[in-house]
């Protein structure tokens, strides 16, 4: 519970008021009737059903929370994608180098058409792998493995 | 148990469980504060607006500060704006805000409210924060955006005024 709980139930003496009087010269000279003031201030509780108020507030704020979560997710996804794109030129250059080498090797052993077909298939597989990896970034951000509930049983 | 500041950080990520916890911790002090500040009018609107701002600006909350100070600062600003709009004086108590088991005490609460209503707004704020919510003078100064000395002097003037009312036998 908060340290600043409302103390309107009337049991607490006016400690804050007493503390003030103790260090305030004019108040010390002519002390105010703290007990009486505290009694009056404590007279009665605030007639509010705070729980009901909070429930209605929570309902009203749900769309705002969803919007906030969505905005943050997009920001994270964009940042992660941009970060993931940084090494892409180097990776592509390396792959092109490897594919050229592989084509040279395979075409020495097999007919050129068959070698081109094999290398093209491998290149298509690599492109698919890249696309899947980048597409997984926003999906994993939206549903991180750590947040998934373990299977029951 | 998570601190208020940790919950505020989670709220900034859109965590509704964090909001639920904060609401549970502060529903009573915050609603009482607004009630006393406005004399019981437009409490629900101001309460919801306060939390709406908390949610909206949670990412800007500085975790080195106290969450309670920040929360009450927002509420104070909203209540001051509300007073500036000069609402009509007619008292409108909303029935569904009133807890059934506390209705019989509403007369006594009205007396205390009248006593507070006698005070100028600035003095009332200090009395409510220091007396009812146990904020220190430094925290009250932080919430109200004024020096600690001003809080002391407002408290002194508020006490003198209350003492005068008591001595006069007025409430």
Q: Average pLDDT over chain B, rounded to whole?
A: 84
Which letter does DSSP use for residue B41 in this model?
Answer: S
Comparing A76-90, B15-29, B87-101, the range with the smallest average pLDDT is B87-101
| Mean per-residue pLDDT, A108-117 | 92
Comparing A74-78, B64-68, B137-141, the range with the smallest average pLDDT is A74-78
Who's near B167: CB < 8 A, 6+ residues apart?
A33
The string of pLDDT tens digits covering residues B46-67 is 999 999 999 999 989 998 889 9
pLDDT at A44: 57
The string of pLDDT tens digits covering residues A19-42 is 788 888 877 777 778 888 888 787
Which letter does DSSP use for residue B13 in this model?
Answer: T
Q: Which band of pLDDT confidence, cut at 50, 70 and 90, is reported for residue A9? A: very low
pLDDT at B103: 52
Alpha helices, DSSP H, located in B58-147: 67-84, 106-117, 121-127, 137-144
Cβ contact, residue pair B19, A37, below 8 Å: no
> Alpha-carbon distance B68 to B127, whole Å?
17
Domains and CATH numbers, chain B: 1-98 (1.10.1740.10), 99-171 (1.10.10.10)
Structure tokens given for A30: 């002519």
Cβ contact, residue pair A58, B24, below 8 Å: no
Q: Which band of pLDDT confidence, cut at 50, 70 and 90, is reported for residue A2? A: very low
Structure tokens given for A24: 């305030």
Please report the ipTM that was assigned to this predicted complex.
0.76
Task: Give B101→chain A minimum CA distance, Å.
Answer: 9
Which of the pair, B126 or A150, is modelled with greater confidence? Answer: B126
> Alpha-carbon distance A102 to A20, whole Å?
86
> Alpha-carbon distance B86 to B59, whole Å?
32
Q: Is A28 on the interface with B (CB under 8 A)?
A: no
Predicted TM-score (pTM) of this structure:
0.71
B-chain CB neighbours of A48 within 8 Å are 31-32, 35, 43, 97-99
A-chain CB neighbours of B157 within 8 Å are none
pLDDT at B93: 47
Phi, psi of A76, rounded to the nearest 5 degrees: -65, -45
Q: Which A positions 29-48 lie with beta carbon below 8 A of chain B?
A: 32-33, 36-38, 40-48
Q: Cα B91 to chain center, whole Å?
A: 19
pLDDT at A149: 55
């Amino acid at each position: 519970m908060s340290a600043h709980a409302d103390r309107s139930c009337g049991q607490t003496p006016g400690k804050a008021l007493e503390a003030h009087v103790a260090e305030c010269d004019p108040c010390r000279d002519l002390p105010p009737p703290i007990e009486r003031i505290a009694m009056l201030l404590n007279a009665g509780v605030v007639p509010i059903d705070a729980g009901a108020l909070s429930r209605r507030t929570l309902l009203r704020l749900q769309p705002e929370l969803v919007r906030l979560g969505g905005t943050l997710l997009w920001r994270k996804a964009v940042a992660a994608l941009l970060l993931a794109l940084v090494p892409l030129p180097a990776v592509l250059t390396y792959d092109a180098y490897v594919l050229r080498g592989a084509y040279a090797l395979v075409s020495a052993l097999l007919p050129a058409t068959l070698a081109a077909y094999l290398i093209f298939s491998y290149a298509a597989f690599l492109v698919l792998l890249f696309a899947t990896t980048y597409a997984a970034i926003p999906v994993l951000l939206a549903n991180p493995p750590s947040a998934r509930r373990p299977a029951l049983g | 148990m998570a601190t208020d500041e940790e919950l505020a950080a989670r709220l900034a990520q859109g965590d509704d469980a964090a909001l639920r916890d904060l609401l549970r911790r502060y529903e009573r002090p915050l609603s009482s504060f607004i009630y006393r500040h406005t004399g019981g009018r437009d409490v629900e609107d101001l309460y919801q607006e306060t939390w709406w701002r908390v949610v909206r600006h949670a990412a800007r909350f500085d975790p080195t500060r106290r969450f309670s100070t920040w929360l009450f600062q927002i509420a104070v600003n909203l209540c001051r704006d509300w007073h500036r709009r000069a609402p009509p004086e007619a008292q409108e108590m909303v029935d569904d805000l009133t807890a059934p088991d506390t209705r019989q005490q509403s007369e006594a609460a009205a007396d205390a409210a009248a006593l507070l209503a006698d005070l100028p707004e600035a003095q009332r704020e200090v009395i409510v924060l220091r007396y009812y919510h146990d904020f220190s003078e430094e925290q009250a100064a932080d919430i109200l955006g004024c020096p600690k000395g001003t809080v002391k002097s407002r408290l002194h003037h508020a006490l003198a005024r209350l003492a005068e009312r008591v001595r006069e036998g007025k409430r």
